Amino acid sequence: MSEAIKVGVIGCGNISPQYFKGAKLYGEIEIVACADLNVDVARARSEEFGVPKAIAVDELLSDPEVEIVLNLTTPQFHAPVNKRILEAGKHAYCEKPFATNRHEGQEVLRLAAAKGLRVGCAPDTFLSAPLQTARKLVDEGFIGKPFGGTAVFACPGHERWHPNPEFYYKLGGGPVLDMAPYYFTVLVNLFGPAVSVVASAKQVFAERTVGSGALEGTKIAVETPTHNASLIEFENGATVSALFSFDVQGEHDLPMLTLYGTEGNLSLPDPNRFDGELRVCRAGGSWESLSLQHNYEGARALGIADMAAAIRANRPHRANGEIAFHVFDLMLACEESAASGQRVAVASRFERLPVIGASEGGSPRF
């Protein structure tokens, strides 16, 4: 294996421990530096996860050892920080969503192309062993021709557990921009690009109450729709109904992600995880579990590891800016259709890349 590519992290908040832990699974990458606006937070993460350097953001961006910068800032800073990373001559990989509007997302893609650098984006859960197996099965015609599906995320809201959940309920928040990236990235990886959306949305509750942490009991005014139902048409002819809600009280009993084909159905596991059961139900039969053709361990940082391997091999990486922008474009279309009451076209496109190779010795074959 080639020497690991060195990674620096900007943003050491709530999501960062998952990346610090996940990166240790993949020999393609090594986190060597971290930074945060709160230097004490960066130092604490450095000590907790054995990161050699806790430094200022400017210092990290000028560090010649760092080739890829992982951008874990809050959503409104994803695109601006990505541009700073690219201007510093480094590859950028950020948490989802890719941007807060199409213009800034396109700016990031243009800058990366002009600089000859890579840009990537979460989620990378679509690269998990179960979901890569599903992609292989769909491509091989295992359920015949796929023609439809359902995607469901529904809960009472993140204020129950998140220590500072206000941004989920402000403009630029809501269940579509927060949770649909996991579902839509899987769907477009399976079906190819989406072409149009018809949607309806509403705001059920005017305010939310923080349920944990130092802000427990604080009231949050809701400024964005929190329940969205969308009907999505894909370029391959499939139609998927998608529900994303922060308003569903109690547990629901709907499957998270199901594909319908002319010869049977596939039930996929939670697309926000890297594990879970893959099941099939053929015409006239009942649900049965499928063995995975990919058995490597998945964790956040899988997409960065693939990016690093792709840099070394001079090939495209899978969790790339084009697929991330398309997913973002699709999410905005879901919100815009609901606001206008009209069908909204999805203009962006991307190239579907090959599945990860079947594993050997528990490691992915990028």
Summarize pLDDT for 152-164 with one digit per residue, the tens: 999 999 999 988 8
Beta bridge partners of 203: none
Q: What is the pLDDT of residue 1?
A: 53
Q: What is the reported pLDDT for 284?
A: 86
User: Tell me, what's the pLDDT at 90?
Assistant: 98
Residues in the chain with pLDDT values less than 70: 1, 358-362
User: Which residues of 14-127 form beta strands (DSSP E)?
Assistant: 29-35, 53-54, 68-71, 91-94, 119-121
What is the C-alpha to C-alpha distance for residues 248 and 226, in angstroms, rounded to an integer?
A: 10
Task: Dig out the tokens for 272 from the structure.
Answer: 């926000």
User: Is there a single domain that holds both residue 110 and residue 186?
Assistant: no
Cα(103)–Cα(116) distance, integer angstroms: 20
Q: Indicate which CATH number applies to the domain containing 82.
A: 3.40.50.720
Whether 214 and 339 map to the same domain: the answer is yes
Domain housing 206: 129-294+329-345
- Model-level pTM? 0.94
Q: Answer yes or no: do 25 and 155 share one domain.
A: no
Residue 260 and residue 338 in one domain:
yes
pLDDT in tens, 263-316: 999 999 999 999 999 999 998 899 999 998 777 889 999 999 999 999 999 999
- CATH of residue 271's domain is 3.30.360.10
Structural domains counted in the chain: 2
Mark whether 22 and 169 lie in a shared domain: no
**pLDDT, position 253:** 86
Instruction: Determine the angle formed by the axes of helices 302-313 and 16-23, rounding to 10 degrees.
Output: 50
Is 43 part of any domain? yes
Residue 185 is predicted with a pLDDT of 98
Quick one: what percent of the chain has pLDDT higher than 90?
86
Quick one: 107 and 140 in the same domain? Answer: no
* Segment 182-209, tens digit of pLDDT: 999 999 999 999 999 999 999 999 999 9
Which domain-ending residue is among 121, 156, 182?
Answer: 121
Percentage of the chain modeled with pLDDT above 70:
98
Per-residue model confidence (pLDDT) at position 196: 98
204 and 228 belong to one structural domain: yes
